[in-house]
């Protein structure tokens, strides 16, 4: 989870708080940052969720604090992977557990014929699986 910076140093991913219009605090946003030149950028795969959320806030948002992990599955997984209780586990096993958990939720949502919920869970699964090298079957 690192990439080269324009200055030649290495950029690392960290979970940061992004403050929008001095009002809305979005916690745990994965951001690439360079310790040498202090350049930073949002981790590209989570950009659609972040910009999508900011768009829903409108031009005059109410003060609020949200956890980006509630909006982005990848951010949620990174949050889990960096938390103390999971520090001895591999990212792969955390991802696998989360995918299994979401598949259970999907079955439950479908058995209750709750289309909106099923769609929400399916969207969360897609956020994970479209950025993972392992292929999961979502039949
Ligand atoms: Zn740099």
Compute, in angstroms, the gap from residue 32 CA to the centroid of ligand 1: 10
The mean per-residue pLDDT over the stretch 26-43 comes to: 93
% of the chain at pLDDT higher than 90: 55
Cα(13)–Cα(78) distance, integer angstroms:
10
Judged by average pLDDT, the poorest of 58-62, 111-115, 125-129, 134-138 is 134-138
Domain ranges of the chain: 8-71, 89-134
Instruction: Report whether pLDDT(53) > 80.
Output: yes
Per the DSSP assignment, residues forming a β-bridge with 85 are none
CA angle, 97 then 104 then 86, to 5°: 20
Cα(46)–Cα(31) distance, integer angstroms:
9
The mean per-residue pLDDT over the stretch 80-95 comes to: 80
Compute, in angstroms, the gap from residue 1 CA to the centroid of ligand 1: 16
67 in helix, strand or coil? strand
Compute, in angstroms, the gap from residue 65 CA to the centroid of ligand 1: 29
Compute, in angstroms, the gap from residue 43 CA to the centroid of ligand 1: 15
Instruction: Report whether pLDDT(96) > 50.
Output: yes
Mean pLDDT, all residues of the chain: 87
DSSP 113: T
Compute, in angstroms, the gap from residue 8 CA to the centroid of ligand 1: 6
Instruction: Report whether pLDDT(80) > 90.
Output: no
DSSP 35: T
């Amino acid at each position: 989870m690192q990439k080269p910076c324009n200055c030649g140093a290495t950029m690392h991913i960290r979970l940061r708080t992004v403050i929008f219009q001095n009002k809305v605090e979005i916690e745990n946003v994965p951001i690439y940052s360079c310790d040498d030149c202090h350049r930073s950028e949002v981790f590209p795969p989570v950009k659609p969720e972040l910009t999508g959320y900011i768009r829903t806030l409108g031009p005059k948002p109410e003060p609020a604090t949200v956890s980006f992990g509630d909006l982005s599955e990848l951010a949620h997984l990174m949050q889990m992977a960096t938390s103390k209780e999971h520090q001895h586990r591999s990212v792969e096993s955390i991802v696998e557990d989360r995918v299994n958990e979401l598949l259970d939720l999907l079955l439950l949502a479908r058995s209750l014929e709750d289309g909106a919920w099923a769609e929400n869970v399916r969207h969360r699964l897609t956020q994970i699986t479209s950025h993972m090298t392992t292929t999961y079957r979502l039949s």
